Amino acid sequence: MRVLITGGAGFVGSHLAEAFLQRGDRVTVLDGVNEKIHHLLAHPRFCFVRGSVLDGVLVDRLVGEVDVVYHLAAVVGVEHYVSNPLKVLEVNVNGIQNVLKAALVHRCKVVFGSTSEVYGRNLQVPWREDDDRVLGSTRVDRWCYATAKAVGEHFCFAYKRLGLPVTILRFFNVYGPRLDNLHSGRVVSVFIGQALRNEPITVMGDGGQTRCFTYVDDCIHATVAAGVAAAADGEIFNVGTDVETKIINLARLILELTGSCSEIRYVSHRDVYGARYEDVPRRVPDVSKMQEILGVRAITSLREGLRRTIAWFRGEGIEQSGTVVSYAPGSQG
């Protein structure tokens, strides 16, 4: 297969590129940076194109050369939602339209990387794919990402009516090697960074809020399957584990696995993100559709996934140029 991955030099995209190369496919990555795919640049079936998903002419040319496009290019991360909502909205709403327009012209399948954030703070967990979305006020910038991704999903279904094969994946707190840097970003990398530096672990609120942390290899098995299985066309899938973890327990586990002497410090959301932020108290997927149609289960325990992630951040898993070393194919997918 010939595969285009927009945002393919990001965290999930770089792992997805490795997975398709391991299958023997050809991979083109469109991204503005290439730090996370340095090790792939010399691979004979890999092509990196530096550019933006907002460049409609470029997107049209690249989509015309492949069988499936994964649209993963996005501005993601809570710190962006509250600091630069304009960029979040522009990139996330306009990028998907360029991809869909080009895909319709070239009759190319689209897999859209959406998010568990679209369910908002719906308290009725676990969430099935057709469940309601419960978001806060538009004055709270946190919700701009959920809104932009939901608009993207609506565009996907509008193009589906025109005959385009599209699949939507809602990722649940994916983590693993290459997630962000150790000073900002998502909670897993923030806590690992704090632990490795022996700085206080900043638990927001009382730490009783939960997430279902999904190891990247499990996420990638489902993501590949979504692009190759015809039964996935026209469908939305929750992608993740349904094992729920309190943030305070995540902090304790990272302290144990790193052997850190950091203390746990409780901080208020308002101190960190200001009034433009609201937290999501629980986030849990129903994963039966992923298991039944994509044939994938998330099997990596949080302990094992964190162990591998911490090892990578300690520099024990740095990739060699031209090789694919960090993706371990399992029996699934």
DSSP, res 240: S
Residue type at 222 in one-letter notation: A
Residue from the set 92, 209, 262, 300 that interacts with ligand UDP by CB under 6 A? 209
Instruction: Indicate the residue among 1 and 140 with the shorter CB distance to ligand UDP.
Output: 140
- SS3 call for 142: coil
As given in the structure block, the two tokens for residue 243 are 């094992």
Residue from the set 204, 255, 287, 296 that interacts with ligand UDP by CB under 6 A? 204
Give the contact letters, 113-132, x = binds to ligand UDP (CB under 6 A), - = no.
----x---------------
Using rule CB under 6 A, residue 173 touches ligand UDP: yes
Question: Of 25-84, which residues contact ligand UDP (CB under 6 A)?
Answer: 78
User: How far apart (Å, rounded) are the C-alpha atoms in residues 97 and 100?
Assistant: 5
DSSP, res 183: S
User: How far apart (Å, rounded) are the C-alpha atoms in residues 19 and 132?
Assistant: 33
Instruction: Indicate the residue among 102 and 190 with the shorter CB distance to ligand UDP.
Output: 190
Q: CB within 8 A of 237, min separation 6: which ones?
A: 129, 167, 168, 169, 170, 222, 226, 289, 290, 293, 294
Please pick, among 70, 145, 175, 277, the residue that the annotation labels catalytic: 145
Question: Of 270-289, which residues contact ligand UDP (CB under 6 A)?
Answer: 279-280
- SS3 call for 151: helix
The stretch among 204-212, 225-233, 310-318, 320-328 that binds ligand UDP (CB under 6 A) is: 204-212
145 is catalytic: yes
Instruction: Indicate the residue among 103 and 247 with the shorter CB distance to ligand UDP.
Output: 247
Instruction: Indicate the residue among 35 and 279 with the shorter CB distance to ligand UDP.
Output: 279
Using rule CB under 6 A, residue 211 touches ligand UDP: yes
As given in the structure block, the two tokens for residue 12 are 């999930």
What is the CA angle 273-173-115, rounded to 5?
85
Q: CB within 8 A of 162, min separation 6: which ones?
A: 104
As given in the structure block, the two tokens for residue 87 are 């960029």
Using rule CB under 6 A, residue 202 touches ligand UDP: yes
Active-site annotation, residues: 145
Chain positions contacting ligand UDP, by CB under 6 A? 78, 117, 173, 186-187, 190, 202-204, 209, 211, 247, 279-280
